Every structure is written in C-alpha cells, then in structure tokens.
Amino acid sequence: MPVEAEASSSPSRKKALWLTQTLQDQKQLAAGPPIDYSFKDLKTVLDLVLVEPNSGQPRKPALPHDSNTLEYLESLAAADQAAAESEALGEDSPRRAGAAAPLSPVSPSGSGASPSGRSGGGSALGAKLNSNSIRLCNNHLMSLNGLGRVVRHCLDDWRQLVWLDVSSNQLTTIEDSILEFPSLQVLYLHGNALTNINDVLKLQHLPRLSKLTLHGNPISEQKNYKMWVVAHLSGLRSFDFGPITKIERDKIDTWFKGLKKKH
C-alpha cells in the first residue's frame, strides 16, 4: 500500500482533518441537544429568559424574575454587535476567543450529552457542545416578536439557529421574526392558529429550510393545502412529518403549472 494512502486511512489522520474544519462545520456536526422550553407556560418569548430550560445548556443562566428583561436583551445585542465589528476588523473579541476552542465530537450514542441534557465535560477535547436548536412548543405564545433578541440568550451564535419548534402555541401568523435566521432548516408550526396560507410565502426567504410542519392549523383545511405549500417551497424535503419523494415533487410541479395556466 502506498505511504500516502496508508496515512490518509489512519485514525489519527482522520482526527486531524476533523480538527481543521471551520467552526460552522463543527457546530453542524457536533451540535448539542435542543434547548427545551416546552410546557413552561410562556406567554411571550421574552419570558423565556426568566426560566431554566427542561434540558439543554443555554448560553446564559435564567434571570431573576424582577430583572429588566428588555434592558438585558439590549445589552446582549450590543455585545454581539461589538463582537461582530471586532471580527470584521480582524481583532480578537470575546466571542472569537470563546469560539476558538474546538468542539467535542459527537458521542457514539449520538447525543454527546449527559442524561441531564448538559454537555459532557469528560470529552477528549474538554469543550461543551453548542446547541443550534430551540424547543418552544406547548406554551401560550401568540407572537414571536423579539425572538431574534431572545435567541442571543440561548445560543452561543444566534445566527446558527437550525431547528425551531414553536408548535402547539397560539400563533395566528408567520411573522418576519422567523426570517432573521438564514441557517434555519427545520421549522415546526403545527398546532397553531394560522389562517392565511399566503403567510407561507414568507418562508421562501429561508434558503436552507428543508423540513416544515403546518398540520393542525386552520390553513390545513384548505383544498390542495399540501400541494400548494410544497409547490411554493421548492427546497422542502419533508412536510408534516412525511418525506417528499421525487415522484411526488414532479406531480406537484405539474399540478402547479396547470394551476398557473388557469389563472
């Protein structure tokens, strides 16, 4: 066997390649468990910063209930802005310094975390797994206004939110606040009170969205609901927990072309 091939197949070589991946790639491959705020009786997303999650490790601990929530969130946003400006200038910043340590590889079980949902401190690299997922289902949310600021409390990098579950709330519209997360791939909106199917068109501005749920909303009772949604969101690979096959996609595209001709 040639020496080059021998080196490339050795375990140590593979580890070295993994360590040279970008921070974004590492976060995707070694993300921690979702930060779970389900069943917390939340009335607004701003209330999230006042409670500890059921599981997962947020960036910041919960605030005392008498805290000024808005002032706190504004300070987080200002700190992130300052860090971003420092990075743009090539300077070291708190975020940059904290992110320099490599992330822990995923454990064989796939979770990479202890049973409590906290990141495992006994990994070879000794670094916590950064979550990129938030669960806000089964609360009393009527709006997601302020979500962008709140995610800064939860995630080490709010721009890396990949998975968001806001199912089983009282949302009546798909708000622009969801569009603040260009990395979003999975969005659960089922079991809400969405009435305007045209709100779905906003999700075209999420380039990586591949999995979406909307069942259990009033819009799901409309004729050809599934075909209409899938036709307008060409990047979807799963809808309402069912895969979208190539054959099904082709049928929907044909149906949609015929619909446009009629109108």
Q: What is the pLDDT of residues 123-151, one digit of tens each?
A: 334 345 679 999 999 999 999 999 999 99
pLDDT band at 122 (very low <50, low <70, confident <90, very high): very low
The residues near 61 (Cβ < 8 Å, ≥ 6 apart) are 52
For 158-178, what is the mean pLDDT? 96
**Which residue type occupies 46?**
L
The 10 Å Cβ neighbour count of residue 3 is 7
pLDDT for 128 equals 55
Q: What's the Rg (C-alpha) of the chain?
A: 21
Domain 28-96+128-262 classification at class level: alpha beta
- SS3 (DSSP) at 259: helix
pTM for the full predicted model: 0.75
More confident residue, 196 or 15: 196
What is the overall mean pLDDT for the chain? 80
Lookup: tokens for 90: 């090539």
What is the rounded distance in angstroms from the CA atom of residue 244 to the CA atom of residue 20? 35
More confident residue, 94 or 245: 245
Phi, psi of 192 (to 5 degrees): -110, -155
Strand partners, 243: 238
Lookup: tokens for 233: 């969101």
Cite the beta strand spans of 209-258 per DSSP E. 211-213, 238-239, 242-243
Above 60 in pLDDT, residue 35? Answer: yes
End-to-end CA distance of the chain: give it in Å, rounded. 65
